[in-house]
């Protein structure tokens, strides 16, 4: 079945860039997503990319998609303490349901 | 401001009890979802509903049932709670095929 993999932990220093990686198995995925979960809260959509794109930029966030390798990454420039959260990669084929990865816990050190 | 609310943030139940988790959304969304979130496993879909009185099994429906009598409310039911159902439960809603699912804050259920 469909599978989405992420590393579970990432630590960076405040002001550095963070890169969170994700791999997926379903080559027919139409959209790929990044969600953010802050402590004690539900998930919030950060950004998404259509599968025929290879890059999308939105302020401090850059999403890169390598469709051949089924690899998605989220880069956060100038990482701040408020960026500390769990980041989930998700895919959707075009139907109703998302498949989420296990989440990467980002810790930002002062 | 869009909102998905869940009836409890924390819940402690005993093995064998019947448990109801309630979710309400105020956005008139057709689609509602129940996930459980476990460390290292991410979110796994338990059940979802496209419309009132309609329900579909997700990836891990065993031990759960759902009810959607009104458009705004989607209930998750654990008929006989077991310790392996200790988890964080997240409700979400979405309109049509929109990209964004709106999540509630979650209910952390502990079954002892």
Per residue in B32-75, pLDDT (tens digit) is 999 999 988 889 999 999 999 999 999 999 999 999 999 999 99
| Residue A95 pLDDT | 65
Q: Show the tokens assigned to B49.
A: 């509903």
| Residue B102 pLDDT | 93
What's chain A's average pLDDT? Answer: 91
Instruction: Say which DSSP state B39 is in.
Output: T
Do the Cβ atoms of B43 and A88 come within 8 Å? Answer: yes
Give the residue from A84, A88, A82 showing the smallest Cα distance to A35: A88
Look at the block and give the residue holding tokens 């994700």: A22
Give the residue from B106, B26, B32 showing the smallest Cα distance to A38: B106
Do the Cβ atoms of A48 and B99 come within 8 Å? Answer: yes
Gap between the Cα atoms of B67 and B53, Å rounded: 7
Other CB atoms within 10 A of residue A55 CB: 9
Nearest CA in chain A to B98: A96
Residue A27 predicted with pLDDT over 90: no
Q: Show the tokens assigned to B42.
A: 């991410």
Residue B98 predicted with pLDDT over 90: no
Q: Is the four-CA dihedral A43, B36, A67, A17 of positive or negative sign?
A: positive
pLDDT above 90 as % of chain A: 73
Sequence-distant (6+) residues with CB within 8 A of A101 are: A4, A5, A6, A22, A24, A88, A89, A90, B42
- Residues in chain A with CB shorter than 8 Å from the CB of B31 are 96
pLDDT above 70 as % of chain B: 98
Å from A63 to nearest chain B CA? 16
């Amino acid at each position: 079945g469909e599978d989405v993999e992420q590393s579970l932990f990432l630590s960076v220093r405040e002001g550095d860039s963070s890169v969170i990686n994700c791999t997926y198995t379903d080559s027919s995925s139409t959209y790929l997503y990044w969600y953010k979960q802050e402590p004690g809260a539900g998930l919030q959509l950060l950004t998404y990319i259509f599968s025929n794109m290879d890059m999308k930029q939105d302020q401090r966030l850059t999403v890169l998609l390598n469709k051949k390798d089924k690899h998605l990454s989220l880069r956060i420039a100038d990482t701040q303490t408020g960026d500390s959260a769990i980041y989930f990669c998700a895919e959707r084929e075009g139907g109703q349901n998302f498949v989420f990865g296990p989440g990467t816990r980002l810790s930002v050190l002062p | 401001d869009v909102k998905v609310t869940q009836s409890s943030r924390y819940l402690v139940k005993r093995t064998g009890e019947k448990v109801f988790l309630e979710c309400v959304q105020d956005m008139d969304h057709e689609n509602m979802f129940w996930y459980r979130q476990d460390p290292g496993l991410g979110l796994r879909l338990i059940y979802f509903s496209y419309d009132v009185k309609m329900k579909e099994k997700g990836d891990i429906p065993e031990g759960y049932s759902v009810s959607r009598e009104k458009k705004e409310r989607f209930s998750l039911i654990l008929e006989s709670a077991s310790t392996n159902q200790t988890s964080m439960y997240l409700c979400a809603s979405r309109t049509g095929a929109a990209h964004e699912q709106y999540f509630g804050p979650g209910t952390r259920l502990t079954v002892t």
